[in-house]
Amino acid sequence: MSADQDAVDERIQDAAERGDLSELRRLADAGSSDAADQLIETATELGALDELRRLAAGGNQDAADQLAELTEE
């Protein structure tokens, strides 16, 4: 793993711990699939339905699945 990847991973972890959806979104939009996965997980934990809707509308099936789970309760 490269030093760049380590730095990105650290930023993802830090953002997740803070519940910083905008930072996770920025990293995901820059092409990090790990950030995208963490964004979905964090948005789910926070009940951030708008973020999950945005991701699902963009074609992210995991986000769509989480959204369906949260909204059926």
Name, in order, each residue with C-beta under 8 angstroms of 55's C-beta and a sequence gap of 6 or more: 36, 39, 40, 43, 62, 63, 64
The pTM of the full predicted model, rounded to 2 decimals, is 0.91
Which one, of 7, 8, 6, lies nearest residue 29 by Cα? Answer: 8
Q: Are 28 and 35 in contact (CB under 8 A)?
A: yes
34-68 residue pLDDT tens: 999 999 999 999 999 999 999 999 999 999 999 99
